[in-house]
Amino acid sequence: MSSAADFSYAPLLPTGPDQTEYRLITDEGVDVVHGPGGRRFLTVDPAALTALTAEAMHDIAHFLRPAHLAQLRSIIDDPAASPNDRFVALDLLRNANIAAGGVLPMCQDTGTAIVMGKRGRHVLTDGSDAEAISRGVWQAYTRLNLRYSQLAPLTMWEERNTGSNLPAQVELYAEDPDGHPDAYKFLFMAKGGGSANKSYLYQETKALLNPTRMMQFLEEKLRLIGTSACPPYHLAVVIGGTSAEYALKTAKYASAKYLDALPTAGSMTAHGFRDLELEAEVLELTRNFGIGAQFGGRYFCHDVRVVRLPRHGASCPVAIAVSCSADRQAVAKITPSGVWLERLETDPARYLPEVTEAQLDATEVVRVDLNRPMDEIRAELSKYPVKTRLSLSGPLVVARDIAHAKIAERLDAGESMPQYLRDHAVYYAGPAKTPEGYASGSFGPTTAGRMDAYVEKFQAAGGSMVMLAKGNRSAQVTRSCDQHGGFYLGSIGGPAARLAQDCIKHVEVLEYAELGMEAVWKIEVEDFPAFIVVDDKGNDFFAEVTKPVLTIGRR
């Protein structure tokens, strides 16, 4: 054994100066008192924590960061972007403009509330910080048009929606944020199921740590993310970690741009750092996938963050995470001057292009009348190849996880397929609360892959012949559509507010009303955008873009 090194310390994730632009929420509930040795202590009332949390959860449901909006606009302005890239980017900008009105949230899955806080050693509270923060989450979700997605486990097998979106995930740390003992700093996030489900952990070895193998590994794994989490993504890759869970947490923070000010080189103090060169190479790799902003093109990712962490010599965890088109996070702070929240963009209309949609996209749009019999709808769809852009008008049946499970139980018991799934296309979705004066709350598509196991059974029984959702499907769905003459149509993941305002004209419950947003609904849509992803001939758009293309290594 070599002699021990001298003691040295660096935080695992040393961040630079805070460049955030903040806005003042309130100066109430905070005070400064003097203590022994001339020290100043910041006192924070629980009500200040609650007010800050409620305001933060409101803002991230309705507003985005200016940098994110600028990236969407840059897709529209990029001559190398595909027509589908530009169409998706324009729809997401329109959605942001509608959501900024403060009525319809930008996504129907308004997420799990996640709050991370760092409390300086001279900050005094009553000790109920997590409860006060949770109360702020409760206020936001019960007062706004947000969706309740949290399920309480009553037994190992039985669950019930809590009806408040609680519990929140609250993690509080005792450390001086940015070296300020009298400051309390926060990261607020709302993480929907789509992007949360695209967090991956791989346990690798030293063999991964060379340029060629790393790029081969990343090409294989990043393609598996698919589009069900609503790209373009903010992608984070973390290599190393003192534990698997630390690697995953770091990836989540990096995807939220929380670690942008990390050092860009390592040292013998073993702190984490960003590899800017590898970030650029991985971004270019994703541009060559062909997946694009959901339906082909270059913009699978807006940007990439790669963080290298120290590791145990016998372990090499690799964590991957994304922040989706609903890029919902904001930082905040409580200081002697008051309660402050990151200033998000309240006027996203300034990022909208002045050109018309027709100038952006000359692609033919096929209009499909969903009022026609199912056989006629299928015959019309059969005329066109995968990637064809559609505009749907007419009735859709809405059903997702629990409804599919209940219908499968009926089929297993010898009952027939419900007529509504025989007569209509099925949309996998679950709405947020409906504001007064609206036909629907935010009502975007959910991840199609969760329903894959039901497709063959349902199509064999005459149902689910045309399916509409977001993301890619498994090979078994393609085989079933080939065998039974079915179709899977991809909807743009992300613009739930725009769909609610512009496309959904009527909503009614058909069955299982007791399931709330998981009920079977019937909706009337007008000019609802979609693309043919899987056809009745065994073709799958995503099967082509999941094939490796990388032929050279790094550096």
364-534 has the same fold as 193-325: no
Long-range pairs, 359-367, Cβ under 8 A, ≥24: 360/76, 360/83, 360/86, 360/87, 360/90, 361/83, 361/86, 361/87, 362/83, 363/83, 363/84, 363/87, 363/389, 364/388, 364/389, 365/389, 365/390, 365/391, 366/390, 366/391, 367/391, 367/393
Residue 112 has pLDDT above 80, yes or no: yes
Would you state the pLDDT for residue 418? 97
Confidence of residue 82 (pLDDT cuts 50, 70, 90): very high
In this structure, what token pair is assigned to residue 353? 């292009």
For 325-348, the pLDDT digits (tens) are 999 999 999 999 999 999 999 999
Residue 115 burial (CB < 10 Å; 0-12/13-18/19+)? buried
Residue 325 CB burial class (10 angstroms; 0-12, 13-18, ≥19): buried
Query: What's the rounded mean pLDDT across residues 402-426?
Result: 96
The alpha-helical segments, DSSP class H, found in 15-82 are: 46-62, 66-77
Confidence band for 553, pLDDT divided at 50, 70 and 90: very low
Q: Is the pLDDT of residue 65 over 50?
A: yes
Domain ranges of the chain: 11-190+326-357, 193-325, 364-534
Which pLDDT belongs to residue 371? 97
Provide the token pair at 121. Answer: 């050693």
Distance of CA 171 to the CA centre of its chain: 20
295 confidence band (pLDDT: 50, 70, 90): confident
**Rounded CA separation 491/555 (Å):** 39
Percent of the chain with pLDDT over 70: 96
Q: Would you say residue 430 has pLDDT above 90?
A: no
SS3 365: strand
Question: For the chain, how long is the longest CA-to-CA vector?
Answer: 83
Q: Which residues contact 25 (CB under 8 A, 6 or more apart)?
A: 51, 52, 55, 338, 339, 340, 341
C-alpha 291/C-alpha 545 separation (Å) is: 6
**What average pLDDT does the segment 270-284 reach?**
98
Question: Average pLDDT in the 400-404 region?
Answer: 94
Lowest-confidence pick of 64-73, 253-262, 301-310, 439-448? 439-448
288-304: average pLDDT: 94
d(CA 43, CA 27): 12
Is residue 54 over pLDDT 90?
Answer: yes
pLDDT at 354: 75
| Average pLDDT over every residue of 221-238 | 94
DSSP 131-163: HHHHHHHHHHHHHSS-----EEESSSS-EEE-S
Residue 128 Cα distances to 164, 186, 361, 383, angstroms: 20, 16, 54, 62
Integer Cα distance of 119 and 186 in angstroms: 9
Task: Kindly report the average pLDDT of the chain as a whole number.
Answer: 93
- pLDDT of 488 > 50? The answer is yes
Q: Which sign does the torsion angle of CA 98, 104, 105, 106 carry?
A: negative
Q: Which alpha helices (H) appear in 197-301, and where do they start and end?
A: 211-223, 244-255, 276-287
The confidence score (pLDDT) of residue 547 equals 58
Give the pLDDT confidence score for residue 248 in this predicted structure.
98
d(C-alpha 177, C-alpha 72), whole Å? 32
Alpha-carbon distance 249 to 186, whole Å?
15
Res. 552: pLDDT tops 50: no
Does domain 364-534 fall into CATH 3.20.130.10? yes
Model pLDDT, residue 363: 63
Q: Return all residues near 98 (Cβ < 8 A) that are at least 6 apart.
A: 104, 497, 498, 501
| 490, pLDDT greater than 70 | yes
pLDDT of residue 542: 82
Q: Which residue has the tokens 């029984």?
A: 461
Other C-beta atoms closer than 10 Å to the C-beta of 24 total 11
Q: Summarize the confidence of residues 151-172 as an average pLDDT.
A: 96
pLDDT band at 546 (very low <50, low <70, confident <90, very high): low
CB 236 within 8 A of CB 251: yes
Please give the average per-residue pLDDT across 225-243, as a whole number: 95
| Contacting residues for 356 by C-beta, under 8 A, at least 6 apart | none
Contact of 472 with 492, CB cutoff 8 Å = no
Task: Give the separation between CA 369 and CA 361, rounded to whole angstroms.
Answer: 22
Beta-carbon contacts of residue 415 (< 8 Å; ≥ 6 apart): none
CATH for 193-325 is 3.30.1330
Q: What is the pLDDT at residue 356?
A: 53
Going by C-beta distance under 8 Å and a sequence separation of 6 or more, which residues neighbour residue 389? Answer: 84, 87, 295, 363, 364, 365, 366, 529, 530, 531
Q: Rounded mean pLDDT of 316-324?
A: 97
* Axis-axis angle for helices 129-143, 46-62 (nearest 10): 40
Closest by CA to 488, choosing from 474, 462, 475, 469, is 469
State both tokens at 77. Answer: 């302005």
Find out whether 62 and 105 touch, Cβ atoms under 8 Å.
Answer: yes
State the pTM of this model: 0.86
- Cβ atoms of 162 and 150 within 8 Å: the answer is yes
Token readout for 105 is 């949230």
83: cis peptide before it, omega within 30°? no
pLDDT at 494: 79
Tell me, rounded to whole angstroms, the distance of Cα 401 from its chain centroid: 18
pLDDT in tens, 15-32: 989 999 999 999 999 999
User: What is the percentage of the chain residues whose pLDDT exceeds 90?
Assistant: 86
Q: How many CB atoms lie within 10 A of CB 457?
A: 17
Distance between CA 324 and CA 528 in Å, rounded? 21
Res 362 pLDDT > 60: no
